[in-house]
Amino acid sequence: MSEALSFPDFLRGGWHHLQFEYFREGVEICRLVTGEPELALLRYAPGASVPKHLHVGLETILVLEGSQSDEYGHYPKGSLIANPEGTTHSVSSEEGCVVLIQWTKPVKIL
């Protein structure tokens, strides 16, 4: 990336105009910064899930809309979650959600 990104009113939906693409069944991605670390938006359809995976690096998530859950809790809009290197979990979203996610290394699906 050679220039700064700016999203006015990001927390109030300033990202709604961005393009998403297929990531995995029920989940779409909008890549904001590629490489390591990577910064993206993930949009989960209602009922979507991501199977159990290992964090090879730090993953940080901010829930922007809806909510998501894992084995450790339920995270509504406004929740900040940090999954350190070496942790595992699976993620689901009963109602659907959009999260801002940054990871330092890709996860390993278990």
pLDDT along the chain (110 residues), means of 10: 78 92 97 92 97 96 97 97 96 98 93
Residue 43: predicted pLDDT: 98
CB 91 within 8 A of CB 57: no
SS3 assignment, position 95: coil
CA 45/CA 26 separation, integer angstroms? 5
Contacts of 72 (CB under 8 A, 6+ apart): 89
Q: pTM here?
A: 0.93
Cα-Cα-Cα-Cα dihedral sign, residues 92, 93, 96, 97: negative
Cis upstream peptide for 37 (omega within 30°): yes
> Where along the chain do its domains lie?
15-109
Match domain 15-109 to its CATH number in 3.50.30.30, 2.60.120.10, 3.40.50.261, 3.30.379.10.
2.60.120.10
Residue 8: predicted pLDDT: 85
